[in-house]
Structure 1
Amino acid sequence: MTLPRATLRLQLHHDFTFDDALAQLDYFAALGVSHLYLSPITTAQPGSMHGYDTVDYGAVSAELGGEDALRRLADTVHARGMGLIVDMVPNHMGVGGSHNAWWLDILEWGRHSAFARHFDVDWHSPDPALRGKVLMPFLGAQYGEELAAGRIELKFDAANARFFVQYGPHVGPICPTDYAALLQSANRADLTALAAAFQGLTTQPDDQVRAAAARAALREFVEREGAAPIEFVLQSYRSDDPVARDRLHRLLERQHFRLAWWRTATDEVNWRRFFDVSSLAGVRVERHDVFEAVHKLIFRLYADGVIDGLRIDHIDGLADPREYCERLRHRLASLRPGEPYIVVEKILARGEALREDWAVQGTTGYDFMNDVGALLHDPAGAAPLAHSWTEITGEDAPFAQVSLDARREILTASLAAELDHAARALHRIAREQPATRDYTFAAVHRCVAQLAMHFPVYRIYPANGLRSALDNRYFEVALGAARKALPRASLGALDQVDGWLGARAPEAGGGNNGNPGKAARTANTGSARQAGQNQAAPPLSHAMIAQRTALALFSQLTAPLAAKATEDTALYRYGRLLSRNDVGTDPDDFSLDVEAFHAANVQRQRTTPYALLATATHDHKRGEDVRARLAVLSEIAPEWRETLRAWSTLNQPQRRGDTAQWSPGPAAEAMLYQTLVGCWPPGLDPADEAGVQSLAERVAQWQLKALREAKQRTSWIAPDEDYESECKAFLFDILSPQRRDGFLRELSAFVARIAPAGALNTLLQTTLRMTSPGVPDLYQGTELWDFSLVDPDNRRPVDYAQRAASLDDATPAAKLADWRDARVKQAVIHRLLALRECAPGLLREGEYWPMEVRGALAAHVVAFARRHGDSWAVVVGTRHAAALLDRDMPRVAAQAWGDTAVALPKGCPASALHDWLADVDHTAGSDAAQGKQGDQAHWLALRDVLAALPVAVLTNVAREHTQA
């Protein structure tokens, strides 16, 4: 296995290709990363800026440079002793448009398409209008309106001899079973003769072969005669003539797709989507043939040594993540020697750990991002900040309630069809047996809705249709809440649904109608896993298949519900402190004490020492340095409360609307102020009109997304453009040049006061990411300040020339005086990556030892040691220091530390400990020197260790002089 020392995430698109990455390789190598970590490389929808809308798994994206360019990059990367990790998207593909051949084939041939089982399509919809069809919810208005307006047109692709209907960029292939009627409609002998070859076609595979031969003859005819004869056909279906338009409508009604208004997707979509995105269709990668087709290119590139590892996107969207990971590891391991490196994108809820039976190295690091972020927050600020939020908004609900309310809304407003699919699968089980057939669909639907609404984690991971004891721990939470929420008359149905969702195995007869109970649930512990390892397992019964299907659909409902309700809704409604509102966080978990942080790191070292450690990602809602600065507000909550009041009063004249419902409204205004404080660039002068204007435009982009995601006064589905316009006007008014001596001056002055403490938080966060158990991940460009906002702001072009020019071998301590230019942050990363290179096992695999801290300022210190053989590293950092800073420097003055000291673990050398960040040596004193008695432990005085920087990394590993 090629273990990364550190990864660098790059967002690839047509403006930053493989060759662009290659051009920056000298800098990446000099910085010290070992692996480039690339966004998806497969062919995506044209113009995609992220690559997650794959349309062809079998080809490297031509927009990124194609396979030749990828191999050029890989060859140079490997020549430097580095590696490549690529992002893989097995859960969904981009659909709509005209570029996904698999999708177009099922639109053309329906259930008999060779790819019909590649996607999660419900071909047996209870809606007769969708039976055997695929909903195409891409119309901008009602179908009849768009048809009458002539925006749905029949066209002909001469190169491929295909008729298709087009609506904007979307195409729907006409099934060849209709070609005979189409060609005959022109009343031309030559076309009527061609029609004969299409007569009597069905959608069966043999007839698809016949259709291909008939198409070949049609293509030859068009090549010989030109397209003019076909125009007679198209004229027979033009939309400006009522008769022809009716003919076109009847033709469309016979197809294997149903064109529909985009709003119908919420209620009627009959295929699994990625969340509620109707341009991304779920892929059935649990099927062996689909798995192989999806990974064919990746397997070839891995076998050829082009790529060295995989990051698996949205693992919770898969039917069986455990089985997928095992299969993937087995296939990769069979292709070349060594264990493959695999990490998964997984959001872990409070108290949840990555399942230990998944065959992966760990997660992509959201869990660490949450922990280190919470560590920066002062728990004393939680209550006063909550009180301030209630004062402003009138809302006093904890985040859990806000999230629950959002779940209730999302189930009905965005995921109603997905809820129906899960309920229908369970209702089919009910109908199988006389004992349960009278449980109605509505009753089952109510039960599933309540379970999903109260589910405490993204999903469970049953094996062989049974829940494990760990699954039951989470399921019982939802079950208990559902029992309280449902009427007594529904509890019988709920008990049955509990059974069908894996509380017990189905009976041999298929009914699974015994009385469910906790004893039955706990009895499943381990049995499902053992059954999954039985290679001679008997064929699955109908009842087992039905139960597994229902479980998969339920899990594929709870995961997107959690994401949409929490990440994409509630986090935009609740604003106590926005630095605790990000992917993978729970704002109710406001802070984390040092002991809990140590415990989490001990667990990482034990279970996932090679997982990624992230503090910034392509999906974050606020850059790592925005969050670090906003965390300072937890230390000065009373001052922030008064500041909010003053700014609200100052900017009241700029509000729009009446006093009853003004724009932007109290919550949106309060969150706007936090955002401005968090992302105000260091050194931006309020008199710099161009700079302030540029910032306002970025914040306006965030504001629009935030307002729509909150789904309160506007939304993506039903935008209130007047309200949005008023909010934007408010923003630009308060940041206009006329306010340079008013709000702008107040804003910049406040930021200037807290920015040093924010920078200190950044240096601590950076150091902990570099030294905690795991593999540090850098997001592109964030080695300098990351004051980005949610995408697309966090995917802006990176100035690598600036970063390369600022990289040298000077110590971070030497750069602290000019901390506003962020070179000190880059230097910390550079130095600690050099340490990781000198002692590869020390910070990646070394034992983790929490360290005792004593003295007056002990509460402001986090300290631990890492040990690997005879190599030691002692990590010490400052936290919660806003009131202790040395003037406007992100550092506590040496004398202020007083008697504060950290105890070295037994066995750690007490002398010649070299600080890699300041290039000075330290020697620990004994207890006697500290005025103590006892076991003569050795102590490091922080007045010495933290004299140069707010962080220190002391080791007995010799630092060789290296040139950047």
Structure 2
Amino acid sequence: MSETSSSVARPVPRATYRLQLNADFGFREAAAVVPYVARLGVSHVYASPFLRARPGSTHGYDIVDHGELNPELGSKADFDAFVETLRAHELGMVLDFVPNHMGIGGSDNPYWLDVLEWGRSSDYAGWFDIDWFPEAPHLEGKVLIPVLGDHYGKVLESGGLELRFDAEEGSIALWAYGTHKLPIHPDCYGAVLGTGHAALERLGDAFTHLSAYHPHEQRRARELKRDLARLAADPQIRAAIDASLAGFAGREGDLDSWSRLDRLVEEQVWRVAFFRVAADDINYRRFFNVNELAGIRIEHEELFEHAHRLVFDLIGRGVLDGLRIDHIDGLLDPKTYCHRLRQRAPRPIWLVVEKILAEHETLRADWGTDGTTGYEFANLLTGLLTDPAGDARITSFYRSFTGERARFSEIVRASKFAIMDDEMASELNTLARDAARIARSGPRTADFTQNVLRRALKEIVAAFEVYRTYVTEDGTCAQDLKELDGAITRARRNARALDPSVFDFLGSLLSARLTAAPGSGYSRQEVLAFAMRFQQYTGPVMAKGLEDTAFYRFNRFVAANEVGGEPAEPTTTIEAFHTANARRLAETPGAMLATSTHDTKRGEDTRARLAVLAEVADEFTAAVTEWSAILAGEGAGTAGGEGGEFARNDEYLLYQLLIGAWPSEAEVDDAALGDFRARLSGAMLKSVREAKVRSNWAAPDTDYEAVVEAFIERAFASAPFRAAFLPFQKRIARLGAVNSYVQTVLKLTVPGVPDIYRGAEHWDLSLVDPDNRRPVDFELRQRLLDDPSAPAAAEALGDGSAKLRAIAALLALRAERPALFAAGDYLPLDTGSDQIIGFERRHGAERLIVLARRFPSRGVPAGTPAIAGTGAARLVLGAGTVDLSAGPTPSELLADLPAVVLLAGVDVAAGAAPSSGVRALANADEDA
């Protein structure tokens, strides 16, 4: 069920296939596609989270109970049948696991609801990262619940808050909008039940005196709730309960009439509030800035055991062979977590972590993982396929067309500041408060005010080049010191008005060096706790500022605007590609290789098309100028209004999305175009809101959004625009198909574990999430896989079957020669041209030669040096053999194929010539 790399004494998959589970694609549906996935050739299904999540979850990351399967995906019997189907087809399974946060809100997380009922005395209060003593005095001992769509008073007087009795539980709660359950503290039940019935009065009095049972108040409360539930079975008593609750309701529009309910709310251990209050007052750690996802303290032994009990059981029973750890940077101490996971798992597992690495950063070797989930590899490939010759031309045109002049680094810094000023201001305020408390511990730092420290911390966070550092009780490593010192140096330069000594203090504090010398006067525990909490803040600010803001503002070349990407440096040299592959083989041979994921902002084939634009920069910029003029002329007298003109930066983005995601010719019809238009509108709406320039999620500018939609409608309705756009798009699509084929071959042959994102074995022309979670046509893929004789003409137009067949052929080879791929040496080849990438994989007598074209618009380069070797080599993509003794050149080998894979050094069998369909795909530009 799994292969074992000679350099990693743990099970490592041969290849994985990601399945996105939800209510419409649950365990039964997953089981139905298992035969196809096995036929494709992977060794493991890589499942999205399948533990109990909030009802209606489309992704599964909002887990409410790690100890149960998600019932919306099917029953336990359905899950067991899915597992048996995997075993019958000799497939293993890997799970996407979420240890950083849980879904809250609604009425589904029993542990969170217990905290809301009992506050700090809840058995689960320590599970969540809550600041019970925040700076705001009105929140002391309370949890902020920012779920209201308007100010508290307005929601209260409109009747949006309702007191309800649960007859089955015998419990009372406030419900916001009938959706969000906010439990009433049991010692308030007496006030709610009132004196309208003698039995209720007696029971209410017992609730009021719960403190007499300290420290067993919760046990006593459970007993009294059971009594209340039994009493409520009597219709007269139930009517009395309903009457008591009705006494807390007021009249809509009369705020004073709701004063009794308002007083009851004030007595609770939570404060329900307008969702915008969260930016300033939130006092629990969230997943980024998502109020409905609360951070959990997985470092606590009890919580760790609870959260992993079911997963460890599945590992022990052989159901799971590995875990993909979601958002590892959200954890207080990722290294300790990974070590504990290894130690507690009942058997060895494959362990990869979702870690976004900066260009100069490497995964920490001492974590003991098999590698990352492959974001850096996706960007490496896109950069390799991007022609550096077009960069300057595209940059110049982008600036002139849009008027955008800021450098990307300036946009990132401004975006981070915007996040810290608005969506994540509360967390920064808390850090500044705690830093000031520590500063007051020593006379040399006592005069650093909270305001000064906040300004300095903000500058340091904005100057970070990595997502976070990893200071722990074990100390601060040289890599972390370098990152901290670099950020502080840049912060000093950017904030010359601040006293430089404040940065000296913060540098010592953030590295935990403040208490290095005995008798420092500072608490080591407080210093270390601060440094580690700071690390949990920098990552979300980077993610929200860079990925979810700057990437939507800087639209110069959006193929490079991917998670883990460097939009300012969109290209990768052949040398850098080889270096990265050799390092991966040496350090993390079991790392995942991804080209599409549930997080990518554009699908892999959308990016492959967009990469072509750098090759044809002059044609592209001329085309954009023409298209814009056509649509501006057709919109004369209709654009503008309250929403203003369509921003040129957004218009420029729209053209790239149209080029990259336009349906393939085999799929274009009225229905497909109608569907694409709706998808494109959704992607543009999200882009505009994420950019936070003309609109945003918190306060959408519906007038401007209407302008965006009207422009899209105009483009789809304009015959002149279509006449100008489609020939250019058709050419880019054909060249992009060559890129798609090349990146597929490279992913399946370089060191690492290739992952196929659900459906991406065929065209993946998706846009940003949730577009990349659309249903997959598995029947089409099964049909193409079972019948490889697709018409040549269809392949010339890029119907996706050549890509699927290449994947199947290479996965079959990986199964045939596992050691070659898992442990084979990686040797770059001198191809004599920057248009051809070449390398070998060697293991014993086995030799794999891989050649692939870059920049397909230029044609196949001539005069390349011969490939050394003797004897026959098998053509893996297609059929037949190549005589290496004849000294074939890369130019000759790539005349018919955009990528060639040869297996030599072993017995090979001759076969037919490569299919004409692949030939047509390789020479797409010549046919355009």
Scaled by the length of structure 2, the TM-score of the pair is: 0.93
- Give the C-alpha shift of residue 211 in structure 1: 1.0
Aligned to 1:222: 232
Give the match's secondary structure for 2:515. coil
- Give the C-alpha shift of residue 295 in structure 1: 1.2
Structure 1 contact 314–344 (Cα < 8 Å) conserved: yes
Aligned to 1:523: none
Name which of 874, 885, 910 aligns with 2:870: 910
Aligned to 2:34: 25
Look up the equivalent residue of 1:207 and give its one-letter code: E
Judging changes above 3 Å, is the alpha-carbon distance between structure 1 residues 712 and 510 closer, same or farther for their aligned structure 2 residues?
farther
Aligned to 2:292: 279
Structure 2 contact 512–531 (Cα < 8 Å) conserved: no
Give the match's secondary structure for 2:445. coil
| Distance across 1 between alignment mates of 2:57 and 2:908 | 44
Structure 2 contact 354–373 (Cα < 8 Å) conserved: yes
Aligned to 1:103: 112
| Distance across 2 between alignment mates of 1:813 and 1:684 | 12
Structure 2 contact 152–272 (Cα < 8 Å) conserved: yes
Give the match's secondary structure for 1:782. coil
Aligned to 2:283: 270
| Distance across 2 between alignment mates of 1:960 and 1:130 | 75
| Distance across 2 between alignment mates of 1:834 and 1:312 | 28
Aligned to 2:834: 859
Aligned to 2:628: 648
Judging changes above 3 Å, is the alpha-carbon distance between structure 1 residues 144 and 209 closer, same or farther for their aligned structure 2 residues?
same
Name which of 794, 801, 808 aligns with 1:830: 808
Aligned to 1:930: none
| Distance across 2 between alignment mates of 1:114 and 1:920 | 68
| Distance across 2 between alignment mates of 1:660 and 1:215 | 56
- Give the C-alpha shift of residue 942 in structure 1: 2.7
Structure 1 contact 136–259 (Cα < 8 Å) conserved: yes
Structure 2 contact 297–303 (Cα < 8 Å) conserved: yes
Structure 2 contact 841–847 (Cα < 8 Å) conserved: yes
Structure 1 contact 918–948 (Cα < 8 Å) conserved: no
- Give the C-alpha shift of residue 813 in structure 1: 12
Matched, 1:691 2:639: no
Aligned to 2:900: 952
Matched, 1:253 2:201: no
Look up the equivalent residue of 2:147 and give its one-letter code: F
Structure 2 contact 249–261 (Cα < 8 Å) conserved: yes
Look up the equivalent residue of 1:425 and give its one-letter code: D
Judging changes above 3 Å, is the alpha-carbon distance between structure 1 residues 828 and 112 closer, same or farther for their aligned structure 2 residues?
same
| Distance across 1 between alignment mates of 2:708 and 2:702 | 10
C-alpha distance after superposition, 1:303-323 (max 9, x if no partner): 122211100000000001111
Judging changes above 3 Å, is the alpha-carbon distance between structure 1 residues 432 and 388 closer, same or farther for their aligned structure 2 residues?
same
C-alpha distance after superposition, 1:32-61 (max 9, x if no partner): 011000000111110100000011111010
Name which of 566, 569, 573 aligns with 2:546: 566
- Give the C-alpha shift of residue 564 in structure 1: 0.4
Structure 1 contact 465–505 (Cα < 8 Å) conserved: no
Judging changes above 3 Å, is the alpha-carbon distance between structure 1 residues 484 and 942 closer, same or farther for their aligned structure 2 residues?
closer
| Distance across 2 between alignment mates of 1:244 and 1:233 | 15
Look up the equivalent residue of 2:770 and give its one-letter code: P
Look up the equivalent residue of 2:880 and give its one-letter code: V
Aligned to 1:152: 161
Aligned to 1:555: 535
- Give the C-alpha shift of residue 510 in structure 1: 7.1
Matched, 1:590 2:538: no
Give the match's secondary structure for 2:769. coil
Alignment of 1:621-700 (within 5 A): 621-655=601-635, 657-658=639-640, 662-683=644-665, 688-700=669-681
Matched, 1:708 2:689: yes
C-alpha distance after superposition, 1:185-219 (max 9, x if no partner): x4322211212321322495411111111111111
Look up the equivalent residue of 1:86 and give its one-letter code: L
| Distance across 2 between alignment mates of 1:832 and 1:302 | 29
Matched, 1:808 2:786: yes
- Give the C-alpha shift of residue 758 in structure 1: 0.7
C-alpha distance after superposition, 1:399-425 (max 9, x if no partner): 122111111111101110111122222
Q: Greater CA deviation, 99-108 or 942-951?
A: 942-951
C-alpha distance after superposition, 1:85-125 (max 9, x if no partner): 01101101111100001100010000000010100100011
| Distance across 1 between alignment mates of 2:296 and 2:729 | 47
- Give the C-alpha shift of residue 239 in structure 1: 2.5
Matched, 1:206 2:230: no
Aligned to 1:520: none
Matched, 1:402 2:422: no
Aligned to 1:934: none
- Give the C-alpha shift of residue 746 in structure 1: 1.6
| Distance across 2 between alignment mates of 1:452 and 1:799 | 44
| Distance across 2 between alignment mates of 1:320 and 1:947 | 52
Name which of 301, 305, 310 aligns with 2:323: 310
Name which of 368, 372, 375 aligns with 2:381: 372
Aligned to 2:733: 755
| Distance across 1 between alignment mates of 2:383 and 2:510 | 35
Aligned to 1:431: 440
Give the match's secondary structure for 1:852. coil
Structure 1 contact 32–830 (Cα < 8 Å) conserved: yes
| Distance across 2 between alignment mates of 1:182 and 1:16 | 44
Name which of 847, 850, 862 aligns with 1:898: 862
Aligned to 2:844: 869
Judging changes above 3 Å, is the alpha-carbon distance between structure 1 residues 317 and 960 closer, same or farther for their aligned structure 2 residues?
farther
C-alpha distance after superposition, 1:638-682 (max 9, x if no partner): 111111111111110355545998432100001100110111112
Aligned to 1:231: 242
- Give the C-alpha shift of residue 450 in structure 1: 0.7
Structure 1 contact 179–198 (Cα < 8 Å) conserved: yes
Look up the equivalent residue of 2:841 and give its one-letter code: R
RMSD between superposed Cα atoms in Å:
2.1
Q: Greater CA deviation, 706-715 or 77-86?
A: 77-86
Look up the equivalent residue of 2:567 and give its one-letter code: P
Look up the equivalent residue of 2:624 and give its one-letter code: L
Look up the equivalent residue of 1:883 and give its one-letter code: R
Give the match's secondary structure for 1:357. helix
Question: Identity of counterpart residues, as a percentage?
Answer: 41
Aligned to 1:784: 762
Aligned to 1:878: 853
Name which of 70, 88, 93 aligns with 2:97: 88
Judging changes above 3 Å, is the alpha-carbon distance between structure 1 residues 239 and 958 closer, same or farther for their aligned structure 2 residues?
farther
| Distance across 1 between alignment mates of 2:781 and 2:687 | 31
Look up the equivalent residue of 1:216 and give its one-letter code: R
- Give the C-alpha shift of residue 80 in structure 1: 2.2
- Give the C-alpha shift of residue 11 in structure 1: 0.6
- Give the C-alpha shift of residue 393 in structure 1: 1.4
Alignment of 1:904-943 (within 5 A): 904=868, 909-925=869-885, 939-943=887-891
| Distance across 2 between alignment mates of 1:811 and 1:879 | 27
| Distance across 2 between alignment mates of 1:290 and 1:959 | 55
Q: Greater CA deviation, 650-659 or 489-498?
A: 650-659
- Give the C-alpha shift of residue 446 in structure 1: 1.2
- Give the C-alpha shift of residue 924 in structure 1: 2.4
| Distance across 2 between alignment mates of 1:920 and 1:501 | 62
| Distance across 2 between alignment mates of 1:660 and 1:150 | 33
Moved over 4 A (4+): 241-244, 507-513, 654-662, 809-817, 957-962
Q: Greater CA deviation, 949-958 or 451-460?
A: 949-958
Judging changes above 3 Å, is the alpha-carbon distance between structure 1 residues 130 and 826 closer, same or farther for their aligned structure 2 residues?
same
- Give the C-alpha shift of residue 362 in structure 1: 0.4
Alignment of 1:221-620 (within 5 A): 221-225=231-235, 227-240=238-251, 245-332=258-345, 335-336=346-347, 339-464=348-473, 466-487=475-496, 489-504=498-513, 506=515, 511=520, 543-620=523-600
Look up the equivalent residue of 1:722 and give its one-letter code: D
Name which of 67, 83, 102 aligns with 2:76: 67
- Give the C-alpha shift of residue 243 in structure 1: 6.2
Matched, 1:13 2:22: yes
Aligned to 1:526: none
Judging changes above 3 Å, is the alpha-carbon distance between structure 1 residues 689 and 75 closer, same or farther for their aligned structure 2 residues?
closer
Aligned to 2:6: none
Structure 2: segments with no counterpart, 5+ residues: 1-9, 912-928
| Distance across 2 between alignment mates of 1:441 and 1:152 | 37
Judging changes above 3 Å, is the alpha-carbon distance between structure 1 residues 827 and 320 closer, same or farther for their aligned structure 2 residues?
same
Q: Greater CA deviation, 422-431 or 264-273?
A: 422-431
